[in-house]
Amino acid sequence: MPASRRVALCLMAHPDDCEFLAAGALILLADRGWEIHIASATPGDCGTTQLSPEAIAAKRRDEAAMAASLIGARYHCLELRDLHVHYCEEAIRRILQLTRSIAPALILTHAVHDYMPDHEETAKLARTASIGFFVPNACGGPITPGVGMPHLYYADPVGLTDHFGQPHSPHVIVDISSVLDRKMDMLRKHESQRSWLQAHYGTDEYTHSLLEWSHRRGQAIGVQAGEGFRQHLGYGYPQDCLLSRELGPLVHAVQKIATP
């Protein structure tokens, strides 16, 4: 049965992280009538070798908003700062307030173990938001009637490996072959980052990385392109796979999920 409240929030650390790791699934949901929100913990204020923090942050907010608009999504920023994303009272307050205003039925975020702390801390913030945004005393603002614990999924880590270089195993892989070009269009809106990553890592691999990771995940299920996700199945969380329910045969289980 389809979700009664079709609202999704993708919370990632930096403005282009969602495009790399989860935009395909979001596009498929948007095409099925879902309301999509894309949020970054930071405006990407360290993503430059030439501009001031304020100038690059302004540019990257604009790029993120343009990318989100391609699929009818809304972009939000928690206004934390690059390399200073911490699981702290202020950051928790900001994500609780944002999540209460959105009241998502689905939250997508970073892998628990990823290549940099900003990603991992953002995943912790998303987890706290998922369990707390509908708690009356957690923050201010009205609570949307009927909301409860959303489905929470962790996307693949960058490079499809954890921070020890070990391969990451998703629970499910979503076939995004039909929307890969649109996912690429979203990434291309982040023009400032191609030159930054070329300067930082010494190679022009911005779009190449997205295609490589997408194709590797797709090959695992015999399709052109895919995105992997692990579902949070702790106490009190929904135990059914919302992605499978909403996207049907496009979602392939690749790891058995142990449920009570």
Residue-by-residue DSSP string for 163-188: TTSPBP--SEEEE-GGGHHHHHHHHH
Residue 224, CB-side half-sphere exposure with 13 Å CA sphere: 8
Q: pLDDT tens-digit profile of 130-167?
A: 999 999 999 999 999 989 999 999 999 999 999 899 99
Indicate if the pLDDT at residue 259 is higher than 90: no
Tell me the pTM: 0.94
Q: Which two tokens stand for residue 240?
A: 């059914």
Q: What are the boundaries of each domain within the chain? A: 7-253
Residues 6 or more apart from 109 whose CB is under 8 A from it? 10, 11, 12, 122, 123, 126, 127, 152, 153, 154, 155
Q: If 0-12 CB within 10 Å is exposed, 13-18 middle and 19+ buried, where does residue 110 land?
A: buried
- Please give the C-alpha separations between residue 239 and each of 150, 198, 231, 235, 245, in angstroms, as whole numbers: 11, 42, 9, 9, 12
Between 63 and 255, the higher pLDDT residue: 63
Q: pLDDT tens-digit profile of 78-132?
A: 999 999 999 999 999 999 999 999 999 999 999 999 999 999 999 999 999 999 9
Output the pLDDT for position 208: 86
Q: If 0-12 CB within 10 Å is exposed, 13-18 middle and 19+ buried, where does residue 76 land?
A: buried
CATH topology classification for 7-253: Rossmann fold (3.40.50)
**Pairing, β 226-231 against β 74-77:** unpaired
**Under 8 Å between Cβ of 245 and 173:** no
Give, to the nearest 10 degrees, the angle between helix 180-188 and helix 206-219: 160
Output the pLDDT for position 253: 96
Nearest CA to 174 out of 107, 231, 250 is that of 250
> What region, left, alpha or beta, does residue 102 occupy, with left being phi > 0 and alpha being psi -120 to 50 degrees?
alpha
Indicate if the pLDDT at residue 252 is higher than 70: yes
Separation between Cα atoms, residue 84 and residue 250, nearest integer Å: 37
Nearest CA to 229 out of 41, 74, 2, 26 is that of 26
Separation between Cα atoms, residue 172 and residue 174, nearest integer Å: 7
Output the pLDDT for position 197: 63
Output the pLDDT for position 184: 95
* Confidence band for 257, pLDDT divided at 50, 70 and 90: low
Output the pLDDT for position 48: 83
Separation between Cα atoms, residue 96 and residue 135, nearest integer Å: 10
Separation between Cα atoms, residue 38 and residue 23, nearest integer Å: 9
Q: pLDDT tens-digit profile of 166-214?
A: 999 999 999 999 999 999 999 999 988 876 666 655 555 778 889 999 9
